Amino acid sequence: MAYAPTKWNLGELYAGFASPELQGAFDNVEEQVMSFEGVRGKLNPDIDPNQFMEIVRASEETTRIINKIYAFTGLSFSSDTQDQVAQTYMARVQQFAAQMQNRVLFFSLWWKELDDRNAERLMSAAGDYRYYLEEMRHFKPHTLSEPEEKVINIKDVTGSGALITLYDAITNRYVFKLDVNGETKELTRGQLMAFVQGSDPDLRAKAYQELYRVYAEDGNILGQMYQTRARDWYNENIELRKFANPISARNLGNDIPDEAVDALLEVARKNTKIFQRYFKLKAKQLGMQQLRRYDIYAPIANSDKKFDYNDATKTVFESFNSFAPQLAEMAQRVFDQEHVDSEVRKGKRDGAFCWSVLPDMTPYVLLNYQGRARDVATMAHELGHAIHAMLAAHHSAFTWHSSLPLAETASTFGEMMLTDKLLAEEKDESVRRDLLFKQIDDAYATIMRQSYFALFEKQAHDMIQKNASVNDLSAAYMENLKEQFGDSVELSDEFKWEWVSIPHIYHTPFYVYAYAFGQLLVLSLYQQFKAEGEAFKPKYLKILSAGGSEAPAKILSDAGIDIRSAKFWQGGFDVLDKLVSELERL
């Protein structure tokens, strides 16, 4: 079968916004929530395990419908962001979900309050739902009373939630101007940033200068918003919920022990030399004395090799197939069920993602396929996500989705297998070199850059509590960059505004270390794969098929990995060290 770039078919979810099934789904959720409210009186410490599981399954059923509504709305919106109906539904669904959540809040509060002995009695009968229930109880020491929790939920909508919406509204409106071939172009941030990966050194510099010129104009306001966000985080998580540190609140949500995150960030700090060596090497390749910060993503060769879409799908399937035929079959199923939206269209969302809706439904994948090597890698990446979800399909809707730090395992692993395959087949030396350098560029961007963002967040949250000004924070950010780059890269002053341009640190404080976590994990898994061959495969498939049914530390310790040990994280950096050494020899 030959594949061509297409639009997806959402019919398996709902026929359309006007379909009676979709309207019925809203009513259905309302009815289920109303009946769920009725169980309030039945919740007592010696509740029968069967009755308890009925309640859990009822709540799963509601979650399944909400997931479907959410997915249909989100996917429709992604495929046409200008569609007014989809836009309106997005807001409606968010509001609806929040309201429903507040009405069933009593259940999770009761569950967290329950004594250990009875909780253990119920969990031991919960089968696959056990970890979901256990994880909820981790928050017991940090949970407030029902009225307090409700007040926080409601005030967040107009408080920190609104602050972030404003940050997005302000920064999404920015227009960037760039002179290209004597013509002044007005660009979005995404379009502007394409030039920093381009081969013209002058445009790379101008693109960054323009980016931070615009952000610096609002630097004080954006900086104040960040201060407010950090204070809100402190007030809620430290003052009210009694977490030990600002980052601990995120760690518990990820179910990663504080020591593991500390170990990861410390080891990253000790390994800055690897990328510094790489940047020096890259300067030589580009014929420069020293790399400027503007040049770190510059291409090494100007390979404009294009990959036909059908060939790309075949290459990706073959790469999965060489690991296990089962994986290739799953990848192919995503295409055959028309769950891929790959064509480039006006109004369609940029970039790529995989959306797994329900354990028993083939995930949906969005791509914007333009035939570059990067697009083939993205295809392998997103299909990796889909395969991960499909391998875990035997779990409940509460336990099949892997937690954040493990979420990038199959996707990154899939990309690495593909790169190996492309390298093995590529005859053109310049294309090969480009592929190798791109691999390290990406590793820098996901590992070191994100680790240093996290280190900055830790410092900034601390400084803000001690009344640091926006300028103090900018100065601290420059120090952070200096430590990261050493003498390998020339830094210019405008980068002091980079921190106000990172949406993640506003939206989801301390989210970013999960990227470094995932990529380092995969580097060491991939190393094991190369060393052990066939023997590695069942171990890897077991990690993926666990989904989110166990704590990440447990899933990984079953595979012989100790995320608390500095040695494990160093192993990931050792792989990079070797790759850079190989490039140095080339």
**In this complex, which beta carbon is closest to Zn ion, that of residue 411 or of residue 474?**
411
| Residue indicated by tokens 């040695």 | 567
Interatomic CA distance for residues 147 and 130, integer angstroms: 27
Nearer to Zn ion, 45 or 351 (CB): 351
Using CA atoms, how far residue 581 sits from 229, 253, 574, 584, in Å, is 42, 38, 10, 5
The Cα–Cα gap between 183 and 203 comes to 13
Q: Report yes or no: 453 and 505 within 8 Å, Cβ to Cβ.
A: yes
Q: Which is nearer to Zn ion, 292 or 372 (CB)?
A: 372
Tell me whether residue 374 or residue 482 sits nearer to Zn ion (CB atom): 374
Least distance to Zn ion from the beta carbon of 299, Å?
A: 22
Task: Name which of 207 and 365 has its Cβ closer to Zn ion.
Answer: 365
What distance in Å separates the CA atoms of residue 578 and residue 339, rounded to the nearest whole number? Answer: 39
Closer residue to Zn ion in complex, CB, 69/543: 543
- CA-nearest of 34, 39, 243, 236 to 148 is 236
- Binding window for Zn ion (CB under 5 A); candidates: 273-281, 356-364, 403-411, 431-439: 403-411
Between 230 and 418, name the residue whose CB sits nearer to Zn ion: 418
Return d(Cα 29, Cα 66) in angstroms, integer: 7
Residue nearest to Zn ion (CB): 411
Q: Nearer to Zn ion by C-beta: 223 or 547?
A: 547
Cα–Cα distance, 436 to 579 (Å, whole number): 9
Residues in contact with Zn ion, counted by CB under 5 A, come to a total of 1
Q: Are strands 364-366 and 353-355 parallel, antiparallel or unpaired?
A: antiparallel
What is the nearest approach in angstroms of Zn ion to the Cβ of residue 384?
Answer: 8
Write the single-letter amino acid at 121.
R
- Minimum Å gap between C-beta 518 and Zn ion is 8
Task: Count how many residues are written for the chain.
Answer: 586
Using the rule CB under 5 A, give the single segment among 112-120, 166-174, 195-203, 408-416 that binds Zn ion: 408-416
**Closest distance between Zn ion and the C-beta of residue 405, in Å?**
13
Q: How far apart are CA 374 and CA 376, in angstroms?
A: 5
Minimum distance, C-beta of residue 434 to Zn ion, in the bound complex (Å): 22
- Report, in Å, the least distance between residue 552 CB and Zn ion: 16
Give the residue with the Cβ less far from Zn ion, 67 or 411: 411
Specify the stretch interacting with Zn ion by CB under 5 A; choose among 231-239, 390-398, 409-417, 463-471: 409-417
Applying CB under 5 A, does 411 fall inside the site for Zn ion?
Answer: yes
Q: Is 251 in the site for Zn ion (CB under 5 A)?
A: no
Only one of the segments 156-164, 205-213, 317-325, 410-418 lies at the binding site for Zn ion (rule: CB under 5 A); that segment is: 410-418
CA separation for the pair 440, 523 (Å, rounded): 12
> Contact, 29 vs 66, CB < 8 A?
yes
8 Å CB contact between 132 and 396: yes
Piece in contact with Zn ion (CB under 5 A), picked from 391-399, 404-412, 462-470, 487-495: 404-412
CB 527 within 8 A of CB 275: no
Closest distance of CB 352 from Zn ion, Å? 8
Q: Where are the beta strands (DSSP E) in 412-492?
A: 489-490
Query: With respect to Zn ion, which residue has the nearer C-beta, 248 or 411?
Result: 411
DSSP β-bridge partners for residue 180: 183
Is 450 an interacting residue with respect to Zn ion (CB under 5 A)?
no
Is residue 184 classed as helix, strand or coil in its secondary structure? strand
135, 179, 192: which is closest to 403 by C-alpha? 135
Q: Minimum distance between the CB of residue 350 and Zn ion, rounded to whole angstroms?
A: 15
> Shortest Cβ distance from residue 181 to Zn ion (Å)?
35
Q: Which of 93, 75, 67, 69 is nearest to 360 (CA)?
A: 67
Closest approach of Zn ion to the CB of residue 412, in Å: 7
User: Would you tell me which residues interact with Zn ion (CB under 5 A)?
Assistant: 411
